Amino acid sequence: MPIYLKEQDAVEFADMRTVVAVLRNTLAAQGNGTAVNIPRRRLDFGKGRLNVMAGGSSVSSRHVVKCYGSSAHHMLLYSTDGGLLAIMEAGGLGAIRTGAASAVATEVMARRDAGRIGLIGAGRQARTQILALRAIGIGTEVAVFARDPSKRKAFCKELQTEAGLPVWEAASAQDAVRRADIVITATTSNTPVLMNAWLAPGTHVNAMGANAANRRELDPEIVLRASLIVTDDIAQAKVEAAELIDLAQAGHLDWEKVVPLCRLAGLPGTSRDPNAITLFKSLGIGLEDLAIASVVYDRGMASGRFKPL
């Protein structure tokens, strides 16, 4: 019989350092053919929508299905023999695993000396992007821009305490990224919030906010300039990554140039020109949900606090 974890319990057991490590291994398993990702499907029912995604691994002998509508998010974790292990409220888990995916990408794509972070956005997803990088020892300071000054101020104050590094408010998005080694976009914008002209040579970009075909965070010139473009799932990118779709449809981008994250996960790091721009286009995939659901389940069961329903 499965256990049921409410949101606060699920988040409590999702230790970021552990999630990053398990996700790294899960993606590496996909790279060697022992894990599979099922891209997100957005199912429309008149005025309602249900989003469904999944992933499974023969290494962990588990698979997960995540379903969510406009508000409620749930993960169902199964053993590969079909037994339901757990049902989890997963709103907060989504932000944590997305941050962990950016950490896995950054550790193999960014320059070894990268430390200064420019962050555009000040929501829940923005917070976990920084906490994930800190969990693997990346980051010396963070410059943050968000349109709402009061929200930006409160966010910077809280993040500085939580992340344990200097966090300061930027007057504009350009000001936030002008000195950055790593740039993160964490918005739901329909139009670009990050311009190519603002990026210094050698910058790594994690674009994680726009995961639908009607959202665009990046100046197309950033994609064209990038020497390495990585995403967490190519099939999903072909229907959700607007910045890539637009260029491919115009004949300016060959999908063969886009590298799946599983091909790099667990490697010591890419050999790169220190002046090159690298880009991770994050979408959020079912295998990332499998990694975090496994961590939460194992830690929850070890706590002795939960009994099967």
> Looking at the predicted structure, is the pLDDT value of residue 125 above 70?
yes
**165: amino acid identity, one letter:** L
- What is the Cα–Cα distance from 239 to 53, expressed in whole angstroms? 14
Give the pLDDT confidence score for residue 211 in this predicted structure.
86
pLDDT confidence of 223, banded at 50, 70, 90? very high
Work out the mean pLDDT of the chain and round it to a whole number: 95
- For the segment 10-20, the average pLDDT, to the nearest whole number, is 97
pLDDT for the residue numbered 165: 96
Mean pLDDT of 124-132: 97
Residue 270: predicted pLDDT: 59
Locate the domains of the chain by residue range.
Answer: 3-94+287-303, 103-284
The predicted pLDDT at position 29 comes to: 96
> Per mean pLDDT, which range of 46-55, 132-141, 191-200, 283-292 is the poorest?
46-55
Token digits of residue 129: 């992007």
Residue 163 burial (CB count, 10 A) = 19
List all residues 6 or more positions away from 214 whose beta carbon is below 8 Å from its beta carbon: 190, 242
> Do the strands 48-57 and 84-89 form a parallel or antiparallel pair, or are they unpaired?
unpaired
Dump pLDDT digits (tens) for 146-200. Answer: 999 999 999 999 999 999 999 999 999 999 999 999 999 999 999 999 999 999 9
Q: What's the mean pLDDT in 220-236? A: 97
8, 89 in Cβ contact below 8 A? Answer: no
Is pLDDT above 70 for 267? yes
- H or E stretch covering 120: strand 116-120
Mean local confidence (pLDDT), 201-222: 94
Residue 272: its pLDDT value, please? 75
Domain 103-284 classified CATH 3.40.50.11540?
no
Asked if the domains 3-94+287-303 and 103-284 are classified in one and the same CATH topology, the answer is no
pLDDT at 47: 81
Q: Taking the model in full, what pTM does it have?
A: 0.95
Tell me the per-residue pLDDT of 86-98, one tens digit each, with 9 for 90 and over: 999 999 999 999 9
Class of domain 3-94+287-303: alpha beta
Nearest to 114 by CA among 201, 17, 229: 201
pLDDT of 271 above 80: no
